[in-house]
Structure 1
Amino acid sequence: MTDLIVSCEEGKLRGKTSLDYHGGSFYAFCGIPYAKAPVGELRFRAPQPPEPWEGVRDATKEGYECPSLDMYFGYNIGHEDNCLNLNIYTKEIPMSESFRKKPVMVWIHGGGFMYGSNKADHFGPYYLMTEDIVLVAINYRLGIFGFLSLEDPSLNVPGNAALKDQVMALKWIKKNVHNFGGDPNNITIFGESAGSACVHYLTISPQTKGLFQKAIMQSGSCLNVWARGKPNAAEVAKCLGYKETDEKTVLHRLMKESARTIVNSQFKIKDGFFASQIRPLGPVIERPSPDAFLCEDPIEIIKSGRHHQIPVIMGYNSREGIFYELIRRTRNYANLQKTLELDVPYDCDIPENDHEGRKRVAEQLKQYYYDDDDICEENVKTRYLLTGDIQFVYGIQKAIQLQTKYGNQPIYVYRNSLDGPLNFFKKFCQVKYFKTAIMINFFAKMSGSNAVKSIFQNLRNKLPSNTIDGVAHADDIFYLFTTFFTPKIALGSEEDLLIQKFVKTWTNFARYGNPTPEADEIQNKVIWKPIESPEIDTIFDIDRHARLTDNMELDRMKLWDSMYSKYTI
């Protein structure tokens, strides 16, 4: 195909040919606008459908990121104009009516609702495109742009603009993906961390019925303590230095601010690392309206059985809380606390002014996790366990329990224990000279030569590191996507075989609704079956040798259940 042109509803697109990491060819169409640019009166508001264009639009280059800071190096990135774009990767363009459409996988990136984009530097398609799927990676607005939430209904900024962006993207995909070889009736949405929480929200919103048929949630749930925001005019005004806090004035001033000023200011907000604090910037429950993304507490939706009844994969990494190391290396307010009062969740059934009650719960947590030990650097690994449980594992397991009890579709539960050579997030957390590691990776990113990049990769690997057991938060990403610091993967190498454990299993689910439709060597001939009861009886443990295990976290989850009396079923 010498001139790679595909039509969509808005016009024609010119794509390009690329190669997966095994050397197979696929086609890429990048920077496709799925909504109008969120500028002018559309800043902070719900997205609007895209406008058509004349002629053939160049889709060989990626579009802008949504305004934010680079998630690795902290410099300003993005532009509001055409940041609501998506990238489509496909192995084959339909040339006849008899074409057999491919399963579609839609990636929703994470980044704490503050960082991230669909750029191949961070989420390269080169692993997943070894399989015969259509992969779509979307952008959505971040930080204040995506989560400004005002209570005055006349201002028309109720919140959840970022989630409404995702809905708009899914509508575009549903209408257009058949032109790229995708099956609009076989769409799987998947995401990690905040992207996974977004996926979960999408599965409970009435606005998304029929837009997808399956979902994969990696290390994130809408029941996690960090996945809920609140009306935030006061916090936004404070971070921007506004003396006025009334919503109308705040919005009026925000509409005139530069994107860079808003981005730089929003990172002054201490946004929800500690469980005791509801984060200012995140998904909210809106006033009822025809356009609202979410009008009820997610738990009430799930308990009523009104969440989408679709097959799902949900799971987490074996030691999610290792990410605490990265947080305290990059945040001056996240030092090791000597008490656990900041870890008592804000949504526990404890009155806000009951300080003694909060202390009692903190002591209960300390007794369980630390026994008689003091909280100190020598036992910081206990901090990892506690952080992982409250920030990730508990909310994920609670969601699984509820959806098993009040749903009728298969739920496949996993624990990722694969501690391999591509666990880069863990490498960042355990390296002793953190700033040096960041500098080396920065130069690797900026170098235009693979040979120079390889030199910096070797330097990075020689840095001394601490020893930490377990799989850190976000380590699973690097077995599904390439990044700017991914080394060259040799066919048949250990890395190649481990990548295929995720790629084959995830794409099987997208194709069949079953991650292991047959026993094969990739997953050690183990058949991954959906759980049969809310107690989460069997978990599929992803490792070099996959296995079925009991719920190792069960006792710890019972402790957290005892604190969440308002969630008791």
Structure 2
Amino acid sequence: MSDDIVVTVEEGKVRGKIQEDYHGGKFYSFSGIPYGKAPIGDLRFKAPVPAEPWEGVKDGTKEGYECPSKDMYLGYYIGNEDNCLNLNVYTKELPSRNNVKKPVMVFIHGGGFMYGCNKSAYFGPHYLMSEDIVLVAINYRLGVFGFLSLEDQSLGVPGNAGLKDQTLALKWVQKNINNFGGDPQNVTIFGESAGSASVHYLTLSPLTKGLFHKAIMQSGSALNPWARGRRNFADIAKAIGYKDADEKTVFQKLCRASARSLVSAQFKIEDSFFASLVRPLGPVIEYPHEGAFLTEDPEEIIKSGKNHQIPMIIGYNSLEGLFYEIMRKTRNDANLPKNLERDIPYDLNILKNRNQVQEVAQKMKEFYYKSADLSESNIHCRYMLVSDVHFVYGIQKSATLLKRHGTAPVYVYRMSLNSSLNYFKKFCEVKYFKTMILVTLMTKLAGSSSLKGVFQSLYEKLPANKVDGVSHADDLFYLFTTFFSPTIVRGSEEDISIQKFVKPWTNFAKYGNPTPEKNETLNGVIWKPIESEEVDNIFDINKEVTITKNLECDRVSFWEKMYQQYAERV
């Protein structure tokens, strides 16, 4: 009975419930546990403070609120500032006298720092909990709530509140996870996309020393162009319709505005999927002050060796840029461009030099398009370009710098696996996107197995433009269940595919080594850290797992030459 499943943490008692993993094994879940005080009133936009103690037993059988945003699939308003700084804990065993403490994995969701939450409808624990770990999934503030960044130091809003939320959640883990059977001295953080960039930032911050011991970065790096934000007073004021010229007046109004109006405003700000623009809402380099999360450039931190020297897994999917199709289907500003000038990364530092812009754009066209005109007939070239500019180059550069300037092992993977679980790829390929979204909405609202069947049937039957390669975010469906995930039969192709992620990920959390011994599911492959700055020993997750050479080497070299030739070096 759930009445008997009660765990005591520093702030009070939490009631949990029993669930089953996808193989039928038992685990306990405790949801919506506050780790930070509600970020309302004077705490809105500020660094978080720890949650206050509560009386009685808190109901952890129901999930907590999302932080205010829009639903990542369907676009309607979600969330509540009250108790949005919460986390979920899943464990196979509760502590007893004879228990050995379990490795802890803390997941940080993605969503471009604008979307996402820790709810099990999106990140269900049922695959990972087939292994003997403790899993934690956290919320953090998004958009303007998490990344408002002001110049006026007296206002106390330097930025990065969302990253500071993540830091506070990790402090909560250190204080409380032993009460769930977890080992606070063996914590692995992992995330995907903006969650992966967050993981990278956490390894760079002096505030997080000792809070975790290993890290997994999936399709995101602090060196990707979309992972950096800017001071955004003017953007926010304009979007919400404030005419005031000073930050203090606008800040006071923002503190009084409704959460819904702020969410509406933040999505009016130009936040184009082009590398030439620094995003308005995202992590920033803060001015030096007590409690600063980041005061130096990420690349310089790595080069100085001041980042955390811990084992890391870093990787990407084989065609990250296929995600561009989602942008085209959902945004008005992401149509096929006439030239490549807006795809030039802002940190190449040439955008004010018209001659150099045209020169680099031409070189990009020659390399990716073989000088052909941009069109639907060669759209795959655009997918490749977007993959490299937004993901692969920055990710591989991170691995190279960590190898060159660090002492800890760096493992690199590439996901090439296509199966019926590659849902994001299907969303990108499908011709009748609105039909897919409608059925997705019906499936989510109903939550019934019969509608899941309808979703699966339509998923298979809708016409699609077939593309080779694995889209951004497809790896998530091998680590987490969603509200539309199918029932997985033990021993099926899908089950084996899921284990190709679950086994090395949880092994890494347990041992700091993703393949401590040969495993049949992984084709007997032993995954070793990279031994060269050119990035070798790549663990290719496909129908058969193999160790490959760097298949993106030529493309990464192209961008390395562009930066060597054009970027201003200090």
TM-score range, shorter chain: over 0.9
Q: Which amino acid aligns with 2:534?
A: E
Q: Which residue of 1 aligns with 2:310?
A: 310
User: 2:212 aligned with 1:223, yes or no?
Assistant: no
User: 2:192 aligned with 1:192, yes or no?
Assistant: yes
Q: Which residue of 2 aligns with 1:376?
A: 375
Deviation string, structure 1 residues 257-295 (Cα, Å, up to 9, x no partner):
100001011111221410000001000000111200000
Q: Which amino acid aligns with 1:86?
A: L
Judged with a 3 Å threshold, the aligned counterparts in structure 2 of structure 1 residues 541 and 147 are, in CA distance, closer, same or farther, namely same
TM-score, normalising length: structure 1: 0.98
Partners of 1:207 and 1:372 lie apart in 2 by 48
Partner secondary structure for residue 564 of structure 1 = helix
Q: Which residue of 2 aligns with 1:552?
A: 551
User: 2:72 aligned with 1:53, yes or no?
Assistant: no
Judged with a 3 Å threshold, the aligned counterparts in structure 2 of structure 1 residues 226 and 217 are, in CA distance, closer, same or farther, namely same
Q: Which residue of 2 aligns with 1:422?
A: 421
Partners of 1:336 and 1:68 lie apart in 2 by 28
Partners of 1:449 and 1:279 lie apart in 2 by 39
Partner secondary structure for residue 215 of structure 1 = strand
Q: Which residue of 2 aligns with 1:393?
A: 392
Deviation at 1:83, TM superposition (A): 0.1
Deviation at 1:451, TM superposition (A): 2.0
Q: Which residue of 2 aligns with 1:477?
A: 476
Deviation at 1:492, TM superposition (A): 1.1
Kept after mapping to 1: 8 A contact 2:141/2:161: yes
**Structure 1: gaps spanning 5 or more residues:** none
User: 2:94 aligned with 1:93, yes or no?
Assistant: yes
Q: Which residue of 2 aligns with 1:409?
A: 408
Partner secondary structure for residue 280 of structure 2 = coil
Deviation at 1:349, TM superposition (A): 3.2
Deviation at 1:568, TM superposition (A): 7.2
Deviation at 1:120, TM superposition (A): 0.3
Deviation string, structure 1 residues 396-428 (Cα, Å, up to 9, x no partner):
011111010000010000110011110000000
Matches within 5 A, 1:250-399: 250-350=250-350, 352-399=351-398
Partners of 2:379 and 2:250 lie apart in 1 by 42
Deviation at 1:18, TM superposition (A): 0.6
**Structure 2: gaps spanning 5 or more residues:** none
Kept after mapping to 2: 8 A contact 1:349/1:564: no
Partners of 2:418 and 2:38 lie apart in 1 by 41
Q: Which residue of 1 aligns with 2:10?
A: 9
Kept after mapping to 2: 8 A contact 1:444/1:457: no
Partners of 2:100 and 2:569 lie apart in 1 by 47
Q: Which residue of 2 aligns with 1:492?
A: 491
Partners of 2:556 and 2:416 lie apart in 1 by 19
Partners of 1:392 and 1:124 lie apart in 2 by 26
Deviation string, structure 1 residues 26-62 (Cα, Å, up to 9, x no partner):
0000000001000000000000011001111111100
Deviation at 1:522, TM superposition (A): 1.2
Kept after mapping to 2: 8 A contact 1:272/1:278: no
Kept after mapping to 2: 8 A contact 1:114/1:142: yes
Q: Which amino acid aligns with 1:164?
A: K
Partner secondary structure for residue 333 of structure 1 = coil
Partners of 1:181 and 1:93 lie apart in 2 by 5
Partners of 1:154 and 1:493 lie apart in 2 by 59
Partners of 2:245 and 2:492 lie apart in 1 by 58
Q: Which residue of 2 aligns with 1:72?
A: 73
Kept after mapping to 1: 8 A contact 2:527/2:537: no
Partners of 1:322 and 1:245 lie apart in 2 by 41
Partners of 2:345 and 2:96 lie apart in 1 by 55
Partners of 1:448 and 1:302 lie apart in 2 by 45
Deviation at 1:243, TM superposition (A): 1.7
Q: Which residue of 2 aligns with 1:508?
A: 507
Deviation at 1:448, TM superposition (A): 3.9
User: 2:38 aligned with 1:34, yes or no?
Assistant: no
User: 2:136 aligned with 1:122, yes or no?
Assistant: no
Partners of 1:533 and 1:296 lie apart in 2 by 27
User: 2:112 aligned with 1:112, yes or no?
Assistant: yes
Kept after mapping to 2: 8 A contact 1:103/1:187: yes
Deviation at 1:459, TM superposition (A): 2.4
Partner secondary structure for residue 422 of structure 1 = coil
Could you tell which deviates more after superposition, 529-538 or 180-189? 529-538
Partner secondary structure for residue 217 of structure 1 = strand
Partners of 1:226 and 1:70 lie apart in 2 by 20
Q: Which amino acid aligns with 2:85?
A: L
Partners of 1:534 and 1:235 lie apart in 2 by 40
Kept after mapping to 2: 8 A contact 1:149/1:233: yes
Deviation at 1:567, TM superposition (A): 7.9
Partners of 1:349 and 1:110 lie apart in 2 by 28
Partners of 1:154 and 1:463 lie apart in 2 by 56
Kept after mapping to 1: 8 A contact 2:272/2:333: no
Kept after mapping to 1: 8 A contact 2:186/2:212: yes
Q: Which residue of 1 aligns with 2:85?
A: 84
Partners of 2:509 and 2:356 lie apart in 1 by 46
Q: Which amino acid aligns with 1:215?
A: A
Q: Which residue of 1 aligns with 2:63?
A: 62
Partner secondary structure for residue 203 of structure 1 = helix
Q: Which amino acid aligns with 1:420?
A: S
Deviation at 1:460, TM superposition (A): 2.9
Partners of 2:202 and 2:112 lie apart in 1 by 16
Kept after mapping to 2: 8 A contact 1:104/1:187: yes
Q: Which residue of 2 aligns with 1:442?
A: 441
Deviation at 1:452, TM superposition (A): 3.0
Q: Which residue of 1 aligns with 2:214?
A: 214
Q: Which residue of 2 aligns with 1:562?
A: 561
Partners of 2:112 and 2:390 lie apart in 1 by 12
Q: Which residue of 2 aligns with 1:151?
A: 151
Q: Which runs of 4+ in 1 moved over 6 A?
A: none
Q: Which amino acid aligns with 1:90?
A: T
Q: Which amino acid aligns with 2:427?
A: F
Deviation at 1:441, TM superposition (A): 1.0
Partners of 1:453 and 1:479 lie apart in 2 by 18
Partners of 1:367 and 1:11 lie apart in 2 by 62
Deviation string, structure 1 residues 77-100 (Cα, Å, up to 9, x no partner):
00000000000000100122x420
- % identical equivalent positions: 64
Q: Which amino acid aligns with 1:365?
A: M
Partner secondary structure for residue 114 of structure 1 = coil
Partners of 1:453 and 1:542 lie apart in 2 by 27
Partner secondary structure for residue 57 of structure 1 = strand
Partners of 1:513 and 1:135 lie apart in 2 by 16
Kept after mapping to 2: 8 A contact 1:561/1:568: no
Partners of 2:354 and 2:309 lie apart in 1 by 41
Kept after mapping to 1: 8 A contact 2:272/2:334: no
Kept after mapping to 2: 8 A contact 1:118/1:139: yes
Kept after mapping to 2: 8 A contact 1:89/1:125: yes
Kept after mapping to 2: 8 A contact 1:440/1:460: no
Kept after mapping to 2: 8 A contact 1:349/1:563: no
Q: Which residue of 2 aligns with 1:460?
A: 459
User: 2:161 aligned with 1:161, yes or no?
Assistant: yes
Partners of 1:342 and 1:353 lie apart in 2 by 12
TM-score, normalising length: structure 2: 0.98
Could you tell which deviates more after superposition, 198-207 or 487-496? 487-496
Q: Which residue of 1 aligns with 2:135?
A: 135
Deviation string, structure 1 residues 522-552 (Cα, Å, up to 9, x no partner):
1100100000121112211111101111111
Kept after mapping to 2: 8 A contact 1:447/1:453: no
Q: Which amino acid aligns with 1:468?
A: V
Q: Which amino acid aligns with 1:33?
A: P
Partner secondary structure for residue 122 of structure 1 = coil
Partners of 2:165 and 2:371 lie apart in 1 by 49
Partner secondary structure for residue 373 of structure 2 = coil
Q: Which residue of 2 aligns with 1:543?
A: 542
Q: Which residue of 1 aligns with 2:26?
A: 25
